[in-house]
């Protein structure tokens, strides 16, 4: 059936009115005339979003580039949250940035060599990744400057489509297109499915929920009997290598780490196995001064499955997808433990980079973690599992990621490397330090 141009335009408008209610009007030209304009208005923001994008950038080096991106995006009618302009003076913490990210439909990550070194930029990247996974929405738009390549990015960002910004900013339309596209879930990046969710819940109910409730008591008993007072934390250290490769023994990491024994065996009838045994291992680690410290520790064994799947081409799990799966596992497990104080107070997840590290990297990491936990335990800090973001902030892909809490504390002592940037929200004045 043939229709004329008037009928064609009418049909298009009816379709738009009925099918695309969340998007405002398109402008069509008749099919028998040259198309001179195809304009899409800005999508309507829905709760909890009040911004189309939060722009994250290194204020020390990239403010001018970020402002150019801001001007280009907002000239098209989008609403952005820009720290230099939108944060107002007051007394506050990094919570204001977490709130701004949560209230933004997308996060534009302006990534340069400087931002990859900036502790504050690392913090914003981590918060953006966490918020994106909580929403199960791929809402991150990495914009690369200064020769930064995908392989330079923290592992959680590498699977994403990145935009290499041209020096003359000719391709800022790519950014606008990225924040205008329909929402994608993280599952769309996971051809083998969401392994992380099942692994995390299985690990919690099938293992941690069994061994953790009385673990601190057995550690204190071992510590007392073996004269390790002041040199052994009550926590179980759960090691999470970035590669997901778990060695047979933590002592295989370094000659400075040695196997010292086991905690008392836990016996439980489980899944048809009568008197199934659960046994946790004790190690010692020697610090730079030659003093031995002790810890109950092990790898998170379930993640080794992802390492083995990566080695087997028939599983379809690629390296970049493994990074996404492992990050989702980490975030999911943290949230599970957050709901169970009985367990969360008795373990410490230590995420670390295990590729191309020196032989003393692991002992130093463990010693630092033990000493940090001992300080907290001696001060009766009951939130030791939620280590605050102390300065310097950790990299998402570095061993110091172990020092991160995925919830920003109400107050943080940070080194000032840039002026305080602020925002006033709901009648309350808040502040945040950028660096």
Q: For 351-420, give the DSSP string.
A: EE--SS--TTHHHHHHHHHHHHHHHHHHTT-TTTTS---PSSPPPTTSGGGGG--SS--S------SS-E
Helix, strand and coil percent figures for the chain, each rounded to 5: 40, 20, 40
Distances from the Cα of 214 to the Cα of 33, 209, 218, 234, 370, angstroms? 77, 10, 7, 11, 20
Query: Which among 124, 253, 321, 425 is annotated as catalytic?
Result: 124
Q: Is the peptide bond before 413 cis (omega within 30 degrees of 0)?
A: no
**Length of the chain, in residues:** 435
Closest CA to 43 of 54, 53, 55: 53
Distances from the Cα of 93 to the Cα of 55, 73, 351, 374, 394, angstroms? 18, 28, 25, 26, 17
Backbone angles phi, psi at 283, to 5 degrees: -125, 160
Q: How far apart are the first and last CA of the chain?
A: 64
Using an 8 Å Cβ cutoff, are 265 and 210 in contact?
Answer: no
Backbone angles phi, psi at 346, to 5 degrees: -115, 10
Catalytic annotation present for 91 = no
Q: How far apart are alpha carbons 13 and 7 in whole angstroms? A: 10
Burial class from Cβ neighbours inside 10 Å (0-12, 13-18, 19+) for residue 136 reads middle
Residue with tokens 């799947």: 309
Q: 227 — alpha (psi -120 to 50), left (phi > 0) or beta?
A: left
3-state SS class at 335: helix
Q: Could you list the active site residues?
A: 124
């Amino acid at each position: 059936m043939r229709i004329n141009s008037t009928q064609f335009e009418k049909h298009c408008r009816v379709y738009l009115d009925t099918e695309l209610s969340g998007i405002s009007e398109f402008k069509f030209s008749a099919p028998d005339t040259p198309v001179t304009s195809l304009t899409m208005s800005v999508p309507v923001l829905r709760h909890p979003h009040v911004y189309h994008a939060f722009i994250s950038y290194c204020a020390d080096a990239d403010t001018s580039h970020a402002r150019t991106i801001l001007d280009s995006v907002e000239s098209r009618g989008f609403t952005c949250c820009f720290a230099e302009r939108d944060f107002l003076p007051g007394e506050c913490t990094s919570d204001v940035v977490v709130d701004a990210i949560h209230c933004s439909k997308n996060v534009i990550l302006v990534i340069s060599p400087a931002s990859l070194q900036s502790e504050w930029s690392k913090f914003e990247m981590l918060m953006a990744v966490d918020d994106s996974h909580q929403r199960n929405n791929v809402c991150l738009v990495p914009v690369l400057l200064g020769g930064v390549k995908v392989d330079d990015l923290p592992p959680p960002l590498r699977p994403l489509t990145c935009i290499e910004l041209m020096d003359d900013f000719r391709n800022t339309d790519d950014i606008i297109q990225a924040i205008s596209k329909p929402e994608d879930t993280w599952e769309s990046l996971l051809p083998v499915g969401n392994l992380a969710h099942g692994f995390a819940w299985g690990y919690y109910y099938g293992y941690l929920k069994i061994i953790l409730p009385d673990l601190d008591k057995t550690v204190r008993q071992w510590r007392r009997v073996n004269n390790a007072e002041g040199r052994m934390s009550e926590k179980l250290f759960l090691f999470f290598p970035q590669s997901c490769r778990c060695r047979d023994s933590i002592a295989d990491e370094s000659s400075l780490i040695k196997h010292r024994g086991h905690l008392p065996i836990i016996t439980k009838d489980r899944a048809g196995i009568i008197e199934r045994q659960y046994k946790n291992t004790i190690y010692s680690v020697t610090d730079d001064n030659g003093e031995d410290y002790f810890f109950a520790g092990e790898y998170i064994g379930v993640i080794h499955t992802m390492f083995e799947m990566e080695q087997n081409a028939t599983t379809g799990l690629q390296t970049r997808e493994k990074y996404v799966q492992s990050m989702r596992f980490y975030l999911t497990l943290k949230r599970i433990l957050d709901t169970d104080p009985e367990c969360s107070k008795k373990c410490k997840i230590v995420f670390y980079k295990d590729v191309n590290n020196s032989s003393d990297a692991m002992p130093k990491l463990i010693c630092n973690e033990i000493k940090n936990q001992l300080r907290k335990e001696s001060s009766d800090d009951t939130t030791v599992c939620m280590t605050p973001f102390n300065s310097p902030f950790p990299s998402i892909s570095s061993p110091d990621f172990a020092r991160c809490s995925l919830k920003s504390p109400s107050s943080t002592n940070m080194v000032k490397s840039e002026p305080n940037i602020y925002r006033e929200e709901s009648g309350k004045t808040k502040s945040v330090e950028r660096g």
